[in-house]
Amino acid sequence: MNLGLSEEQSAVRRLARDFVEREITPHVVAWDRAEEVDRAIVKKLGEVGFLGLTIDEEYGGSGGDHLAYCLVTEELGRGDSSVRGIVSVSLGLVAKTVAAWGSEEQKRRWLPGLTSGASVGCFGLTEPGTGSDAGNLATRAVRDGDDYVIDGTKTFITNGTWADVVLLFARSTDAPGHKGVSAFLVPADTPGLTRRTIHGKLGLRGQATAELVLEGVRVPASALLGEEGKGFSIAMSALAKGRMSVAAGCVGIAQAALDAAVRYAGEREQFGRTIAHHQLVQELLSDIALDVDAARLLTWRVADLVDRGQPFAVESSKAKLFASEAAVRAANNALQVFGGYGYIDEYPAGKLLRDARVMTLYEGTSQIQKLVIGRALTGVSAF
């Protein structure tokens, strides 16, 4: 693996860094306090091409490889995880899944809007009763003539309130395939679909996380994504790539923690010299730096495997597991460097810690990632 970046990859990283400094950093504290990112950011992300990375230009995408996608995701995560999550879901989980599994008609219908930022996608897998055990979901899609009628409840859905299209997973009654789960592309304005924003989150406060209730939601059979009964495989393949994106976002959090802590350590004076002179502060900084490097290398390895068409799902679980736990450690260590100021939201460490915490929970908790890795090592499924 070549650990250097190509000129194109370096350019895309610079572009992302400038974008974050200009469009995100000045608003981070206000968005977090208001519990809402300015929705105009979606269009701006689309204009600069960040919502179309790795998608064919034919469908409005901006091309690029998965390392470029990870670099952009890292920079967005460094700026604001709430914004990073919009991209990870609308592009990472929805547009990429449509590109991989969709019919020509579905690609032409949904991808230009998702990649330009004119529309937003959300990924509806989790339900109040099924999180880790996602294959056991209760939402039902019943065939009725040329339509399906869907009933159920989805919760914790990122982008849920903003979304124009829901990539929805439901048990379709006559599906003979794996777990009987099918994937549907449901326009969010379909009658019978209602949504409620979930407030009071510890982190990712700027993100529109929602509960979706589906009561007699009628969609044509053409809304089915991929084959009937293949929905669980589609969800798992989407999440395998999604975990790489979460890992990249975590690298961004850890890098932001490092930058902030090093800067502060060089400014703050205690005992007659800057705290950077104190060995135990240097220990905190070096622990953060190690977490940043290790998380980044694991994440880049996944991107490299994806770009070379190699199997990557287990490596993606490893990267997500390590990077999410590393981001929590790094943000917590940075908060320690800031002392009492770390506890106040005018300084970045507290928000980084709040935002990092959920990364060990969603797209498979740390325990679930360990079971994925353990299954690959032993051949035994211990779920």
Binding site for ligand FAD (CB under 6 A): 89, 122-126, 131-132, 156-158, 201, 204, 209, 358, 361-363, 365, 367-368, 371, 383
Least Cβ distance, residue 24 to ligand FAD (angstroms): 19
CB of 377 to ligand FAD, least distance (A): 16
Catalytic residue among 75, 127, 325, 363: 363
Residue 367 beta carbon to ligand FAD: minimum distance, rounded to whole angstroms: 3
Using the minimum distance from each CB to ligand FAD, give the nearer residue, 109 or 357: 357
3-state secondary structure the chain: CCCCCCHHHHHHHHHHHHHHHHHHHHHHHHHHHHCCCCCHHHHHHHHCCCCCECCCHHHCCCECCHHHHHHHHHHHHHHCHHHHHHHHHHHHHHHHHHHHHCCHHHHHHHHHHHHHCCCCEEEECCCCCCCCCHHHCCCEEEEECCEEEEEEEEEEECCCCCCCEEEEEEEECCCCCHHHEEEEEEECCCCCEEEEECCCCCCCCCCCCEEEEEEEEEEEHHHEECCCCCHHHHHHHHHHHHHHHHHHHHHHHHHHHHHHHHHHHHHCEECCEEHHHCHHHHHHHHHHHHHHHHHHHHHHHHHHHHHCCCCCHHHHHHHHHHHHHHHHHHHHHHHHHHHHHHHCCCCCHHHHHHHHHHHHCCCCCHHHHHHHHHHHHHCCCCC
Minimum gap (Å) between residue 93 Cβ and ligand FAD = 7
Q: Which is nearer to ligand FAD, 48 or 247 (CB)?
A: 247
Closer to ligand FAD by Cβ: residue 27 or 201: 201
Q: Quote the least distance from Cβ 229 to ligand FAD, whole Å.
A: 19
| 97 vs 209 by CB, closer to ligand FAD | 209
Distance between CA atoms of 240 and 302, rounded to whole angstroms? 10
Q: Among 95, 133, 115, 136, which Cα is nearest to 225's?
A: 95
In whole angstroms, the minimum distance from the beta carbon of 316 to ligand FAD comes to 15
To the nearest whole angstrom, how small is the minimum distance from the Cβ of residue 209 to ligand FAD? 5
* 363 annotated active-site: yes
Q: Which is nearer to ligand FAD, 98 or 371 (CB)?
A: 371
In the bound state with ligand FAD, the residue whose beta carbon lies nearer, of 228 and 355, is: 355
* Nearest residue to ligand FAD on Cβ basis: 131
Nearest in space to 356 (alpha carbons), one of 231, 180, 162, 204? 204
| Residue 301, phi then psi, degrees to nearest 5 | -60, -40
Nearer to ligand FAD, 282 or 367 (CB): 367
Query: Any idea what the Cα angle at residue 78 is, between residues 73 and 80, rounded to 5°?
Result: 90
Strands 193-197 and 140-144 come out as: unpaired
Are 141 and 189 contacting, i.e. CB atoms less than 8 angstroms apart?
A: no
Residues forming the active site: 363
